[in-house]
């Protein structure tokens, strides 16, 4: 199954739109830390929606490794992209760090510069660049994670190992889930279901499962992704259809919960970094991309509740299950992006029955 979806994803990327516009600078050789030469004066302007935890972990390490100082502008993904678009005649930012993905590229293909890091070969082949060369995947976020209230599981006598188990009648009205027409995390969970719950990826049998699952919700759909995992931890719901990062945080904080990865297959979607077309400090921006893929930085991510795209590195967070113990599935990212509007409309019609 893993090899099949790797081929599916690679093939879809090869058939995707022509790679981004902009200058394609030659890749520097060697590790980012060894090759950096900022001359003691470069300041890199980074726009980012990333959390304070991630920022505080990566930026000091990059500055120490390269001597390049970062000027950070923190905002939501939409605001960052809108600002880069508004400034495209006179770019102020060098890098969009986080929030970048295939969907953002398709909507704004003219905002980004092509760049392939020499460290690209260090990461899992499934998450490397395809024909689109203007963004680089540096981190993985699990979109298929089920959080379970241990006390309610014992009282109700249910066991969940995968998506199929969510159809147990005892769970009707006791499942916390979001609305994929409104929530990006719920959208990722829907595409995960559609990928693994049919005879083939995204087929009608998978949609039949979605209809059965929505019926199990009994009209309950939560607007906030945090309401899902917090609601399960507080005992309002028996099971939550969520994503890995917050579920592992609840577990590590001592909540009486379990985290289950669907036996049918769980997807990890990459977070990416992109260099702005016409970036004032393009050389420094390339070094930032190189650093994100370096062993030093990827090892930092291996200790968090996210995962590095270099999946060969051991995870050092004791609550994170290694990929070797999970049925990892690989989403056809371009295909899902192209069908998003139609699939959201279909889900809405199921929800509103």
* DSSP H or E segment with residue 268: strand 266-276
Q: Are residue 28 and residue 119 in the same domain, yes or no?
A: yes
Q: Are residue 119 and residue 250 in the same domain, yes or no?
A: no
Q: Are residue 31 and residue 81 in the same domain, yes or no?
A: yes
Q: Are residue 181 and residue 40 in the same domain, yes or no?
A: no
Question: pLDDT class for 3, splitting at 50, 70, 90?
Answer: very low
Say what the pLDDT of residue 41 is.
62
The count of other CB atoms within 10 Å of the CB of residue 31 is 18
Q: Which two tokens stand for residue 210?
A: 């979605």
Instruction: Confirm whether 57 is domain-assigned.
Output: yes
CA angle (82 as vertex; 25, 119 as ends), nearest 5: 30
| Average pLDDT of the chain to the nearest whole number | 90
**Which residues are CB-neighbours of 112 under 8 A, at least 6 positions away?**
20, 21, 22, 96, 105, 134, 135, 274, 275, 276, 277
**Domain CATH code at residue 121:** 3.40.190.10
Instruction: Confirm whether 7 is domain-assigned.
Output: no
**pLDDT surpasses 80 at 171:** yes
Rounded Cα distance between 117 and 98, Å, is 17
Q: Are residue 228 and residue 291 in the same domain, yes or no?
A: no
Q: Are residue 225 and residue 296 in the same domain, yes or no?
A: no
Q: Are residue 215 and residue 81 in the same domain, yes or no?
A: no
Instruction: Confirm whether 53 is domain-assigned.
Output: yes
Q: Are residue 116 and residue 128 in the same domain, yes or no?
A: yes
pLDDT digits (tens, 9 = 90+) for 229-278: 999 999 999 999 999 999 999 999 999 999 999 999 999 999 999 999 99
Instruction: Confirm whether 328 is domain-assigned.
Output: no
Question: pLDDT class for 16, splitting at 50, 70, 90?
Answer: very low
Q: Are residue 216 and residue 342 in the same domain, yes or no?
A: yes
Q: Are residue 172 and residue 99 in the same domain, yes or no?
A: no
Domain that holds residue 41: 19-141+270-314
**pLDDT surpasses 50 at 109:** yes
* pTM for the whole structure: 0.85
Instruction: Confirm whether 231 is domain-assigned.
Output: yes
Q: Are residue 202 and residue 289 in the same domain, yes or no?
A: no
Instruction: Count how many domains the chain has.
Output: 2
Instruction: Confirm whether 326 is domain-assigned.
Output: no
Q: Are residue 209 and residue 107 in the same domain, yes or no?
A: no
pLDDT digits (tens, 9 = 90+) for 44-87: 999 999 999 999 999 999 999 999 999 999 999 999 999 999 99
Bridge-based pairing of strands 95-100 and 43-48 is parallel
Instruction: Confirm whether 226 is domain-assigned.
Output: yes
């Amino acid at each position: 199954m893993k090899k099949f979806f790797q081929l599916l994803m690679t093939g879809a990327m090869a058939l995707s739109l022509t790679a981004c516009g902009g200058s394609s600078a030659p890749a520097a050789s060697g590790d980012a830390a060894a090759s950096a030469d900022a001359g003691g004066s470069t300041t890199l302007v980074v726009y980012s929606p990333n959390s304070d935890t991630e920022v505080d972990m990566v930026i000091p390490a990059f500055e120490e490794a390269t001597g390049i100082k970062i000027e950070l502008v923190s905002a939501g993904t939409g605001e960052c992209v809108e600002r880069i678009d508004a400034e495209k005649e006179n770019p102020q930012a060098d890098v969009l760090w986080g929030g970048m993905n295939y969907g953002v590229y398709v909507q704004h293909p003219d905002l980004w510069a092509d760049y392939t890091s020499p460290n690209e070969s260090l990461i899992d082949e499934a998450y490397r660049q395809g024909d689109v060369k203007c963004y680089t995947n540096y981190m993985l976020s699990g979109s298929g994670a089920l959080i379970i209230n241990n006390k309610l599981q014992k009282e109700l006598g249910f066991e969940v190992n995968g998506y199929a188990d969510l159809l147990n009648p005892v769970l009707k009205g006791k499942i916390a889930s979001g609305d994929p027409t409104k929530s990006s995390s719920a959208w990722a969970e829907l595409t995960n279901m559609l990928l693994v719950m049919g005879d083939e990826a995204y087929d009608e049998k998978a949609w039949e499962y979605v209809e059965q699952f929505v019926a199990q919700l009994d009209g309950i759909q939560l607007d906030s992704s945090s309401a899902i995992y917090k609601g399960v931890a507080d005992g309002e719901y028996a099971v939550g259809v969520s994503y890995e990062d917050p579920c592992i945080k609840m577990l590590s904080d001592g909540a009486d919960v379990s985290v289950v990865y669907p036996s049918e297959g769980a997807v990890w979607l990459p977070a990416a970094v992109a260099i702005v077309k016409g970036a004032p400090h393009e050389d420094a921006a390339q070094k930032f991309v190189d650093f994100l893929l370096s062993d030093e930085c990827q090892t930092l991510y291996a200790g968090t509740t996210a995962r590095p795209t270099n999946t060969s590195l051991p995870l050092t967070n004791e609550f994170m299950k290694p990929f070797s113990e999970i049925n990892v599935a690989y989403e056809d990212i371009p295909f899902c992006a192209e069908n998003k509007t139609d699939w959201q409309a279909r889900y809405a019609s199921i929800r509103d029955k």
